[in-house]
C-alpha cells in the first residue's frame, strides 16, 4: 500500500464517501534509479566516467468500489478529478512512510471494470526534481526535537546511531554533522535546504568562507555584529537582502556519512551555524 502527501508534507486521504465506497490504495511499484552515463572514447570498449541520476519508474495501483453501475462511473470520474487536482505530490510506501518520492500523474491510464461494482487501475507516475526518495522530516526537526522516540524516523533510514550523532546546530565550533542518507545532497538542488550563519564578531577583511571539504562558498560584504546569512537552495541573503551577486557562486554539498565543514573569517569562531536538509535514499 502507499500514502500520499501534498507539497506541504501533509498526508492526503483518498476520496471515500460516508458509506465506504470510493478509492483504496493497493500497491506501489518502485523501480531502480536510471542514470545518464558519460563514456570515454577509446580504442577499446567505452569506459563510464560519470553517471547522473535521471529517473526511475514508479506506478501505483488503486481499487474503486461503488454502489451500482451509475455510481461506478461517478467513482471513476472521481479518480480522474482527484489526481488532476492534486498536481505534483509526494508518495511513499505504507511500510516506509517517511521516505517520499516527488511525483505527478503525467500519462494516460484507465480504470478497468473487473466486476460490476469494482474498478482497478495502474497509474504511472512521473518523477519530479530528484529520483531519490527524501526524508519526510528534515535535520532541523532533529535539532529542535531530538532523534529518538518522536515517530519521525524509522528503521532503514540510517538513524540508529547514538543520539550524539544528530547535531546540526553549532556555536563557536567547526560544523561536524552526519548525513544518514544513501546519497550526497547538493544543496542548490534541494530547494528547501537552509544554511543559517549568525555572526557575533566582525570579519576583519569583509570576507566569510564556508568550506564543505571540497567546495568553498565565499561572501564579500561590510559585515556587522548580528548579521545573519542564509543560503536557501539557490538563494543567498544577508539580513533578508539578496546578496548572491557578492558571492563566488559556489554552492555546497553534504556528503554521505560524516561531514567536516569549516567557517572562516569570523574572529574567534564567534558565530552560530545551523544546517537543515532532507536525507536522500535509494
Q: What is the CATH number of the domain that holds 50?
A: 2.40.30.200
112 forms bridges with which residues in the sheet?
A: 120
Which of 217, 222, 220 is closest to 249 using CA atoms? 217
Specify whether 94 is located in the same domain as 183. no
User: Which of 131, 147, 168 is the endpoint of a domain?
Assistant: 131
Question: Residue 64 CA to chain centroid, in angstroms?
Answer: 31
The whole-model pTM stands at 0.90
Print the domain residue range for 151: 137-281
Query: Which phi and psi (to 5°) does residue 161 adopt?
Result: -70, 170
Is-contact 41 78, C-beta < 8 A? no
Query: Which phi and psi (to 5°) does residue 85 adopt?
Result: -75, -30
pLDDT of residue 231: 98
The number of domains in the chain is 2
Specify whether 26 is located in the same domain as 50. yes
Which triple of cell numbers denotes residue 132? 531519490
The mean pLDDT of 144-159, rounded to a whole number, is: 75
Share of the chain above pLDDT 70, in %: 94
Specify whether 144 is located in the same domain as 112. no
Specify whether 155 is located in the same domain as 114. no
Residue 149 has pLDDT above 60, yes or no: no
Specify whether 73 is located in the same domain as 159. no
Rg (CA), the chain: 23
Residue 202 has pLDDT above 90, yes or no: yes
Is-contact 39 49, C-beta < 8 A? yes
Residue 209: pLDDT band (50, 70, 90) is very high
Residue 170 has pLDDT above 90, yes or no: yes
Specify whether 152 is located in the same domain as 180. yes
Farthest-apart Cα atoms in the chain, separation: 78
| Per-residue pLDDT tens over the stretch 223-238 | 999 999 999 999 999 9
CA angle at 171 for the pair 166 and 172, rounded to the nearest 5°:
130
Specify whether 108 is located in the same domain as 16. yes
Specify whether 141 is located in the same domain as 23. no
What is the C-alpha to C-alpha distance for residues 238 and 227, in angstroms, rounded to an integer?
7
Specify whether 34 is located in the same domain as 108. yes
Specify whether 152 is located in the same domain as 61. no
The mean pLDDT of 57-64, rounded to a whole number, is: 97
CATH number of the domain enclosing 211: 2.60.120.860
Which of 185, 196, 189 is closest to 255 using CA atoms? 185
Specify whether 53 is located in the same domain as 188. no
Which of 219, 174, 169 is closest to 194 using CA atoms? 169
User: Which of 115, 131, 147 is the endpoint of a domain?
Assistant: 131
Alpha helix (H) residue ranges in 50-126: 69-86
How deeply is 94 buried, as exposed, middle or buried, from its count of CB atoms within 10 A (0-12, 13-18, 19+)? exposed
Residue 191 has pLDDT above 70, yes or no: yes
pLDDT of residue 153: 83
Amino acid at each position: 500500500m502507499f500514502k500520499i502527501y501534498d507539497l506541504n508534507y501533509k498526508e492526503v486521504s483518498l476520496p471515500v464517501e460516508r458509506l465506504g465506497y470510493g478509492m483504496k490504495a493497493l500497491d506501489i511499484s518502485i523501480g531502480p534509479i536510471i542514470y545518464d552515463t558519460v563514456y570515454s572514447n577509446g580504442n577499446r570498449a567505452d569506459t563510464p566516467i560519470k553517471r547522473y541520476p535521471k529517473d526511475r519508474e514508479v506506478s501505483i495501483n488503486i481499487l474503486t468500489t461503488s454502489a451500482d453501475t451509475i455510481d461506478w462511473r461517478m467513482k471513476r470520474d472521481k479518480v480522474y478529478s482527484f489526481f488532476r487536482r492534486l498536481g505534483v505530490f509526494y508518495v511513499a510506501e505504507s511500510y516506509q512512510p517517511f521516505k517520499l518520492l516527488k511525483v505527478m500523474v503525467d500519462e494516460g491510464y484507465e480504470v478497468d471494470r473487473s466486476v460490476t461494482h469494482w474498478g482497478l487501475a495502474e497509474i504511472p507516475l512521473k518523477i519530479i526534481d530528484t529520483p531519490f526518495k527524501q526524508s519526510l522530516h528534515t535535520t532541523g526537526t532533529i535539532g529542535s526535537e531530538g532523534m529518538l522516540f518522536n515517530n519521525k524516523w524509522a528503521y532503514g533510514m540510517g538513524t540508529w546511531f547514538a543520539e550524539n550523532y544528530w547535531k546540526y546546530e553549532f556555536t563557536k565550533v567547526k560544523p561536524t554533522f552526519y548525513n544518514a542518507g544513501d546519497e550526497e545532497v547538493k544543496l542548490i538542488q534541494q530547494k528547501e535546504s537552509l544554511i543559517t550563519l549568525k555572526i557575533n564578531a566582525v570579519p576583519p577583511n569583509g570576507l566569510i568562507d564556508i568550506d564543505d571539504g571540497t567546495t568553498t562558498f565565499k561572501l564579500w560584504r561590510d559585515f556587522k555584529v548580528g548579521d545573519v546569512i542564509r543560503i536557501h537552495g539557490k538563494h543567498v541573503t544577508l539580513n533578508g537582502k539578496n546578496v548572491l551577486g557578492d558571492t563566488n557562486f559556489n554552492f555546497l554539498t553534504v556528503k554521505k556519512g560524516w561531514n567536516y565543514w569549516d567557517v572562516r573569517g569570523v574572529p574567534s569562531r564567534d558565530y552560530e551555524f545551523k544546517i537543515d536538509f532532507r536525507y536522500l535514499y535509494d
